[in-house]
């Protein structure tokens, strides 16, 4: 198989993470997982995924802090980021977009099918 496109999934809900990971792998993507912001930042020091899907409310380092770090890193700041969060306030969405998120999905309003369609569109 040709080189798989790699998606980094940063989500502290392990059940949701496993569902999204399984679906992306079924679609032919390689998936790296981090379950908190600190682990994500460590992984990003050594990996360059084609796309990042991330939550904003996480232990250790928040998603906003991870987004800011990505946006300030010249090696990562062109990497598309999809936010998948329970936060639904306009101010949270605007803040995520300011830090470079290309898409923002509220967890209770999006299906895994819709998320995968967006991943395919971006990658």
DSSP state string for the chain: -PPPPEEEEE-S-HHHHHHHHHHHHHTT-EEEEESSHHHHHHHHHH---SEEEE-SS-SSS-HHHHHHHHHH-TTTTTS-EEEEES---HHHHHHHHHTTEEEEEEGGG--HHHHHHHHHHH-
pLDDT digits (tens, 9 = 90+) for 63-78: 999 999 999 999 999 9
Q: Where are the domains of the chain?
A: 6-122
CATH code reported for the domain at 6-122: 3.40.50.2300
Question: How high is the pLDDT of residue 88?
Answer: 84
pLDDT digits (tens, 9 = 90+) for 7-54: 999 999 999 999 999 999 999 999 999 999 999 999 999 999 999 999
Question: How high is the pLDDT of residue 2?
Answer: 54
């Amino acid at each position: 198989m040709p080189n798989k496109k790699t998606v980094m999934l940063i989500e502290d809900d392990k059940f949701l993470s496993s569902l999204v990971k399984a679906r992306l792998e079924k679609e032919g993507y390689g998936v790296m997982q981090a379950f908190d912001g600190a682990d994500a930042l460590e992984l990003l020091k050594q990996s360059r995924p084609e796309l990042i899907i991330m939550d904003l409310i996480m232990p250790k380092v928040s998603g906003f802090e991870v987004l800011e770090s990505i946006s300030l890193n010249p090696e990562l700041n062109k990497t598309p980021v999809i936010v998948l969060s329970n936060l639904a306030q306009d101010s949270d969405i605007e803040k995520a977009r300011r830090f470079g998120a290309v898409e923002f999905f509220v967890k209770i309003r999006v299906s895994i099918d819709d998320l995968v369609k967006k991943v395919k569109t971006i990658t």
